[in-house]
Structure 1
Amino acid sequence: MECWDAAVSSLSLALMVLAVAYLLRQTRTPTRYGRYVPADIRCCSARLGWLVQEVPSFLLPLMLLLLTEPDTEQPGRTRRGTGRKLLVWTFMLHYFHRSFIYTFLTRGRPVPLIIVLSAAIFCSINGFLQGHHLLHCAQFKDTWLTDARLAAGFLVFVLGLTINIHSDHILRSLRKPGETVYRIPHGGMFEFVSGANFFGEIIEWCGYAVAVWSLPAFAFFFFTVCSIGPRAYQHHRDYQQRFEDYPRSRKALIPFIL
């Protein structure tokens, strides 16, 4: 498959414009999901919804990997070496967990169909964008595997993934199967922020963007901040209104700051 530079740049810029638009929309109308879903909205089960919306970001890069043939190596350049595939699998790791592990562990509320559809479209586009760019467009020097940005970015990604998974575990442990009640989460990053799971995911994609060091990766990181950052604030405000004894030292998303 040939590189479509114009398409990659256009999709990346469109992603950033969409991120700003989504951020502005959420400041006026909070996203209707989870505890904020009205009774009259059509929904599907949380497990089915998460699977349908997240799995395209795993399957599309996987398909590109399987269909991609190795290039002839060029002096001073590597097109599809081990490091390149490592970054693709790094991206896919998050969505493997979301699609096939988190999905079957979640005890969340039903998800509105419109959100499932919108998320599935986004994950399809972004999954193709990240996979296609890494496998067919990005150019790296032979020495890039020892670059500090790659090592730092990968470590930050692992840190964010760990925070995200641990925070999800804490949230699940607050409910018994079948319960829909809300309780104050404690432990891990929840001691510092209300949106610990969101904080972890933002850290993940920040690390990914640093490791890849490209416009598509940065565009995805920017979209993540604009889309789930407001949700952390929304949760923070709901916790404060719901519980009189909610810890006042906690911030919404960024420890000690915001």
Structure 2
Amino acid sequence: MDVILSKLFASVGDELHVLDCMAYLMILMAACTFITLLFENVPYGRYATSRYGFPVNVKFAWFVQELPAFLVPLCLVLGTSASKTTHLPNRLLLAIYFCHYTQRSLIYPFLIRGGKSTPFASFALAFVFCVYNGYMQVRYLSHYADYPADWVTSPYFITGSLLWLVGWLVNIHSDHILRNLRKSGETGYRIPQGGLFEYVSGANFFGEITEWAGFALAGQSVQGVSFFIFTLSVLASRAFAHHRWYLQKFEDYPKSRKALVPFIL
């Protein structure tokens, strides 16, 4: 793989410049996505529609679309001379990334119960994003990110890592609550109860946004920041859409709940 990449990039500086450009492009995509989602819900789950292509089985879609976010980085770390992986800060940031996507791509899809099929357009866009972002994040961390030896004891790294851990646990617990809303054989929707759902409609989204905010803080790179901004633009929109939907669907939906941020928003 090193041979292939070396042919694509004439020098180290060239690829690092490309990785930076990819990050700025992701921020631009986040802005465009945010504006688009002011007028249109993300077409998946309860908002799925045939306008966005033929339906793809939800378990298959989740597994295949998320898998590149795990496999592409794995190839970059194992199949190339990833010189920066000998440094502790880089190793820990890579571990944070892989911890999330091991669960998201290899475990989560097989825990899904029921669920509506995913329109092909949503599936394809998610697949492309996972390839793009997986390459950008892990290529930077494994080959170019340069941290001082004591970075792991810095306030940025410690605070960011703890923030990531809290978000990761909230995300996993919230997904568990959502999976168990229906009993075997039941259909339809129910009001989520327990955990952070007592305070917000988008507890799972809040958890994932918090994860990548922590990752960006711990790594202090434009690549990490761009991922956080993109995640925020998409998942905040989903949280507000879900909140509006719950309020319209259920007369007894708790009026004290916020959409995304407890007690605030």
- Give a deviation string over 1:19-54, Cα, whole Å, max 9, x none: 000010010111111011135641111110001111
Are 1:204 and 2:211 an aligned pair? yes
DSSP 3-state at the match of 1:27: coil
Q: 1:190 aligns with which of 177, 188, 197?
A: 197
Is contact 2:201-2:242 (8 Å) kept?
yes
Match in the other structure for 1:36? 47
Quick check: 134-143 or 20-29, which moved more?
A: 134-143
Quick check: 190-199 or 39-48, which moved more?
A: 39-48
Unaligned runs of 5+ in 2: 3-11
Match in the other structure for 2:7? none
Is contact 2:85-2:91 (8 Å) kept?
no
Q: Using the alignment, how far apart are the partners of 2:44 and 2:93 within structure 1? A: 31
Q: 1:98 aligns with which of 85, 104, 107?
A: 104
Unaligned runs of 5+ in 1: 72-77
DSSP 3-state at the match of 1:140: coil
Quick check: 2-11 or 247-256, which moved more?
A: 2-11
Is contact 2:69-2:134 (8 Å) kept?
yes
Match in the other structure for 1:23? 34
The Cα of 1:176 is off from its aligned counterpart by 2.8
- Give a deviation string over 1:79-126, Cα, whole Å, max 9, x none: 732331221121121111111111000122211111111000001000
Q: 1:52 aligns with which of 64, 67, 77?
A: 64
Is contact 1:68-1:135 (8 Å) kept?
no
Match in the other structure for 2:227? 220
Q: Using the alignment, how far apart are the partners of 1:38 and 1:179 within structure 2? A: 22
Are 1:229 and 2:233 an aligned pair? no
Is contact 2:202-2:259 (8 Å) kept?
yes
Are 1:81 and 2:92 an aligned pair? no
Match in the other structure for 1:74? none
> Any residues of structure 2 matched to 1:80-229 within 5 Å, and which?
80-107=86-113, 108-229=115-236
Is contact 2:49-2:119 (8 Å) kept?
no
Q: Using the alignment, how far apart are the partners of 2:163 and 2:16 within structure 1? A: 28
Where has structure 1 moved over 2 Å in runs of 4 or more?
A: 38-41, 67-71, 176-180
- Give a deviation string over 1:207-234, Cα, whole Å, max 9, x none: 1001111100000000000011101000
Q: Please, what TM-score do these two structures have when normalized by structure 1?
A: 0.93
Aligned residues with identical type, % of pairs: 43
